[in-house]
């Protein structure tokens, strides 16, 4: 499968714990995006990388959230001191890099904070 | 006001029906427009891009009215397999500064046998 992959697919954690998610984009896609989707809503933009540079962060991304893409390939999203309100589907997408190009989404990581 | 607004539905239609979804967006500087489809508990997948001239892909027709900041999707001859949530999506990127997608809440379509 050469699509976007995410790991883990599901994560259940207790409030206050730290969690880390991984995203592997489509090979040679230089843009990578993180979105969050809660029940009944469309995905909301969190952050965006072009190669290893993090170019934009949403106000939704509080200081408990950090994302990295150290070598311009895979990316990680870490949430520290999780809260129940962090429960959501975390979606990763990648694109080839042209303006307005198609973003391809991974299957998502579903986070449940107890 | 949300940046992208669409009727959440649900739209319950019989097989073979024609159904239309509408969407409005607030940022007049938006550059690119899409319809994504999302099946229950799955990731969004691109259905089609939307152009000012209108575009068609089989049973699906999308249209964009920049003056009214309005996007539409028409599905003809609905199939059971069309049952899904349809997300109206706007790319806010301009001038190379960003490329983030702004999603509507989605419209749920249920095609009945």
Q: How confident is the model at residue A100 (pLDDT cuts 50, 70, 90)?
A: low
Task: State the pLDDT at residue B94.
Answer: 54
Tell me the mean pLDDT in the region B13-35: 93
Inspect the interface and report whether the beta carbons of B87 and A42 lie closer than 8 Å: yes
Residues of A in contact with B103 (CB under 8 A): 42-44
Report whether B111 contacts B15 (CB < 8 A).
Answer: yes
d(CA B21, CA A99): 26
Q: Which of A43, A93, A99 sits opposite B96 (nearest CB)?
A: A99
> What is the average pLDDT score of chain A?
93
Residue A74's CB: how many other CB atoms inside 10 A?
Answer: 16
Inspect the interface and report whether the beta carbons of A107 and B43 lie closer than 8 Å: yes
Q: Which of B4, B46, B98 sits opposite A55 (nearest CB)?
A: B98
pLDDT > 70: percent of chain B:
95
Task: State the pLDDT at residue B97.
Answer: 46
Q: Nearest CA of chain A to the CA of B113: how many Å?
A: 25
Of residues B91 and B45, more confidently modeled: B45
Inspect the interface and report whether the beta carbons of A43 and B101 lie closer than 8 Å: yes
Task: State the pLDDT at residue B96.
Answer: 47
Residues of B in contact with A100 (CB under 8 A): 31-32, 91, 93, 99
The tokens for A105 are 């989404």
| For B39, nearest residue in chain A (alpha carbons) | A107
d(CA A109, CA A92): 9
Task: State the pLDDT at residue B100.
Answer: 85
Size of interface A-B (CB pairs under 8 A): 61
CB distance from A1 to chain B under 8 Å? no
d(CA A91, CA A68): 15
Backbone angles phi, psi at B82, to 5 degrees: -80, -10
pLDDT digits (tens, 9 = 90+) for A78-95: 999 999 999 999 999 999
Task: State the pLDDT at residue A99.
Answer: 60
Write the DSSP assignment of A44-101 as a string of letters: EEEEEEETTEEEEE-TTS-TTEEEE-TTSS-EEEEESS--GGG-EEEEEEEE-SSTTP
Tell me the mean pLDDT in the region A50-77: 91
Inspect the interface and report whether the beta carbons of A108 and B43 lie closer than 8 Å: yes
pLDDT digits (tens, 9 = 90+) for A37-61: 999 899 999 999 999 999 888 888 8
d(CA A23, CA A75): 5
pLDDT > 90: percent of chain A:
81
d(CA A51, CA A100): 17
Mutate: best of B101, B104, B108, partner A, most A CBs <10 A: B101
- The residue assigned the tokens 């883990």 is A8
Residue B14's CB: how many other CB atoms inside 10 A?
Answer: 9
Inspect the interface and report whether the beta carbons of A99 and B103 lie closer than 8 Å: no
CB distance from B96 to chain A under 8 Å? yes
Task: State the pLDDT at residue B35.
Answer: 96
Q: Residue A48 has what DSSP assignment?
A: E
Q: A30: left (phi > 0), else alpha (psi -120 to 50), else beta?
A: alpha
Q: Residue A64 has what DSSP assignment?
A: T
- The residue assigned the tokens 């207790």 is A14
- SS3 label, residue B81: helix
pLDDT digits (tens, 9 = 90+) for B56-103: 999 999 999 999 999 999 999 999 999 999 999 998 765 444 578 999
Number of Cα atoms under 13 Å in the Cβ half of residue A39: 4
Task: State the pLDDT at residue A101.
Answer: 78
Report whether A72 contacts A50 (CB < 8 A).
Answer: no
């Amino acid at each position: 499968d050469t699509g976007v992959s995410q790991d883990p697919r599901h994560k259940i954690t207790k409030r206050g714990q730290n969690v880390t998610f991984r995203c592997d984009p489509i090979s040679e896609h230089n843009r990578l995006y993180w979105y969050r989707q809660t029940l009944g809503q469309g995905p909301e933009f969190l952050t965006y990388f072009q190669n290893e540079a993090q170019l934009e962060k949403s106000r939704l991304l509080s200081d408990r959230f950090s994302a990295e893409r150290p070598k311009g390939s895979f990316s990680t999203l870490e949430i520290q001191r999780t809260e129940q309100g962090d429960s959501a589907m975390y979606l990763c997408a990648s694109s080839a890099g042209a303006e307005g190009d198609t973003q391809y989404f991974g299957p998502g990581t579903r986070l449940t904070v107890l | 006001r949300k940046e992208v607004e669409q009727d959440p539905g649900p739209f319950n239609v019989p097989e073979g029906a024609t159904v239309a979804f509408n969407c409005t967006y607030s940022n007049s500087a938006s550059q690119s427009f899409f319809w994504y489809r999302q099946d229950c508990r799955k990731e969004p997948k691109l259905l089609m891009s939307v152009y000012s001239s209108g575009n068609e892909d089989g049973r699906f027709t999308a249209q964009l009215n920049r003056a009214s900041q309005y996007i539409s999707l028409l599905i003809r001859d609905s199939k059971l397999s069309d049952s899904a949530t349809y997300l109206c999506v706007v790319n806010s990127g301009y001038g190379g500064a960003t490329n983030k997608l702004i999603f509507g809440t989605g419209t749920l379509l249920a095609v009945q046998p």
